Structure 1
Amino acid sequence: MTKTGAFLAFMAVVLGLIVSGAEARAAERGSVTNMPIPRFVSLKVSEANVRRGPSLTHKIDWVFTRRGMPLEVTGEFGHWRRVQDRDGVGGWVHYSLISGARTAIVDRDLAPVLVRAAADGQVKARLEAGVIVNMDKCGPVWCRVKVGGYRGWMERSALWGLKPGEVIE
């Protein structure tokens, strides 16, 4: 075997291990809920204490103050969920403070909300970065959103709160 052939075989093994690791993480389930980890949820309340550990005895590190804010669940322990926001800030919150309702944060300033799911669709509104939208449907490219009396379509790439390839129906 040539050096090039050996190198290519080695890279194939490495890439196979990387893909296997990603598939294993994608297939991970929560020990309490048996739901996928990671997964996205939203903040059910307008104020939630975020603790260092999964109990009331742990110190409060943060307080999330935006009802509807999307959060990524990265762990479970009893009635507690380890979550993080789009900046990676987080900790443990009680499960009663989060909801399965899907929301997203606009990640691009002045992102358009369109009448239809097409790049040439009429613009209904433009949203500033940081605005929280409700999502009721999301495909590979477009998400149907609702915010402030507007309902329309946004490019998925302008939103944070979805796993890659995730479809919401």
Structure 2
Amino acid sequence: MTRISAFLAFSALVVGLLVSAAEARAAERGPVTNLPIPRFVSLKVGEANVRRGPSLTHRIDWVFKRRGMPLTVVGEFGHWRQVRDRDGVGGWIHYSLISGARTGIVERDLAPVRARDASDAQIKARLEAGVVIYLDRCEPVWCKVKVEGHRGWMEKSALWGVKPNEVFD
């Protein structure tokens, strides 16, 4: 192999790697909203049709019936968002049916809601698995939550709807 051929092969490899890296970064943002994908959102309404594709002409596969239910946006197309619930079930819903308000679902039965962000803090309530909570903010280990008039702190590991390393106000 000549030096020129080796240089051209190396250049092609570098360009290929740069293009792949750029595509990977682009894939981390939605093509419509430029927001991160995947990202958590919540269901804004009490009932939402979940379609097989991103239009009204596509068949309805599911109907989500839980206002505030956390969902993960995994795709975007025009006014449609491809979403999944905690069980991985989903499809396409119109963007007007979801909200950026953060919610979560309690994963552990009788998970404690504490007075402050410490494992020895007073327990204010215990929540059953499946309860939808509203997330005010999350720190590395704890999330400040609100549910039916109760406010307090829950361990992030007891919730679905927030990433393990996610922190927000």
TM-score, reference length from structure 1: 0.84
Render the CA deviation track for 1:53-105: whole Å, top value 9, x for unaligned: 00000000000000000000000000000000000000000000000000000
1:163 CA drift (Å) = 2.2
Unpaired runs of 5+ in structure 2?
A: 1-19
Q: How many residues align?
A: 148
Match runs of 1:113-152 below 5 Å:
113-152=113-152
The aligned residue for residue 168 of structure 2 is 168
The answer (yes or no) to whether the contact 2:144–2:153 under 8 Å persists in 1 is: yes
Provide the rounded CA distance (Å) in 1 between the counterparts of 2:37 and 2:66: 23
1:26 CA drift (Å) = 9.7
The aligned residue for residue 108 of structure 1 is 108
Render the CA deviation track for 1:107-147: whole Å, top value 9, x for unaligned: 00000000010000000000000000000110110000000
The answer (yes or no) to whether the contact 2:157–2:164 under 8 Å persists in 1 is: no
TM-score, reference length from structure 2: 0.84
Secondary structure of the residue aligned to 1:121 is: coil
Flag as ranges the 4+ runs of structure 1 deviating above 6 A. none
Secondary structure of the residue aligned to 1:109 is: coil
Unpaired runs of 5+ in structure 1?
A: 1-19
1:27 CA drift (Å) = 6.7
The aligned residue for residue 63 of structure 1 is 63
Provide the rounded CA distance (Å) in 1 between the counterparts of 2:62 and 2:164: 27
Root-mean-square deviation (CA, aligned residues, Å) is: 1.6
Report the residue type matching 1:56 in the other structure: L
The answer (yes or no) to whether the contact 1:26–1:37 under 8 Å persists in 2 is: no
Say which one has the larger Rg.
Answer: 2
The aligned residue for residue 51 of structure 1 is 51
Provide the rounded CA distance (Å) in 1 between the counterparts of 2:65 and 2:134: 17
Report the residue type matching 2:133 in the other structure: V
